[in-house]
Amino acid sequence: MPQKVIAIDGPSASGKGTLAQRVADALGWRYLDSGALYRITALYARNRRTAWDNEAAVAALAQALPVEFVEGSVLLDGEDVSAAIRSEEIGMGASRVAALPAVRTALLQRQHAFLTEQGLVADGRDMGSVVFPDAVLKVFLTASPQVRAERRAKQIGVPLAGAGFERILADIEARDEADRNRTVAPLQKLPEAHLLDTSALTIEESVKKVLDWYREK
């Protein structure tokens, strides 16, 4: 039986979050930002002075994450960390802790718990491969590194030329490389996933494409 899940996987800054949230709104389904769980784990480890490569200790923190998702905000230990988890530093930390198998296992059940009868749109790196392998629709979302760096720069108010921009581009390429080449749950396009390159598409066009694929099912 296919699961009532649309799995949207893809590299950093490909627009997964915006697309997944809009598709969820259009269908009246829930939304899971799985990357946020890895980001929160990285932040929590830093707050607890736990090294990002200490697998057992970070997995224990991930297992017991005191996190709540309340009206679009992320609360860690009751504190609003929605902005803090979006920094590039925490993004890098997320990528580091995400490479540890015990951390991924610790976060698995928490991700499964997001699925209810209402349906779920989930975005990340391994939604279709590991977390929801029976998803009714799988989408692999991408865009060129240049386009993704421009989107990220606009989001955080960095000019589209110069050292700040070059750093964003380099960070995106480094994270792509790390996410694709790790041994556990690497970023990959599954044969059954629909490829959606958004380099030349608006958000509306991307949302429509995914809804059309779902309705054709």
Burial letters for 185-195: b for 16+ Cβ neighbours within 10 Å, e otherwise? Answer: bebebeeebbe
**Phi, psi for residue 147 in degrees, rounded to 5:** -65, -40
Using CB under 6 A as the binding rule, whether residue 22 contacts ligand CDP is answered as no
Residue 125 interacts with ligand CDP (CB under 6 A): yes or no? yes
Residue 86 DSSP one-character state: G
Residue 98 contacts ligand CDP per CB under 6 A: yes
Picking from 132, 139, 124, the residue whose alpha carbon sits closest to that of residue 206 is 139
Query: Is residue 198 close enough to count as binding ligand CDP by CB under 6 A?
Result: no
Q: Does the footprint of ligand CDP cover residue 126 (CB under 6 A)?
A: yes
Helix orientation angle between 101-112 and 34-47, rounded to the nearest 10 degrees: 130
Q: Which of 50, 91, 106, 121 binds ligand CDP (CB under 6 A)?
A: 91
Q: In angstroms, give the least distance from the CB of 137 to ligand CDP.
A: 17
From candidates 95, 129, 198, 206, binder to ligand CDP by CB under 6 A: 95
- Binding segment for ligand CDP among 63-71, 118-126, 156-164, 204-212 (CB under 6 A)? 118-126
Alpha-carbon distance 9 to 11, whole Å?
A: 7
Which range of residues in 19-27, 49-57, 123-131, 205-213 is near ligand CDP by CB under 6 A?
Answer: 123-131
Rounded Cα–Cα distance for residues 38 and 51 (Å)? 14
- Does 50 sit near ligand CDP (CB under 6 A)? no
179 binds ligand CDP (CB under 6 A): yes
Q: Is 93 a residue that touches ligand CDP (CB under 6 A)?
A: no
d(CA 152, CA 158): 8
The answer to whether 210 and 130 have CB atoms below 8 angstroms apart is no
Contact residues for ligand CDP (CB under 6 A)? Answer: 12-13, 34-35, 38-39, 91, 94-95, 98, 124-126, 175, 179
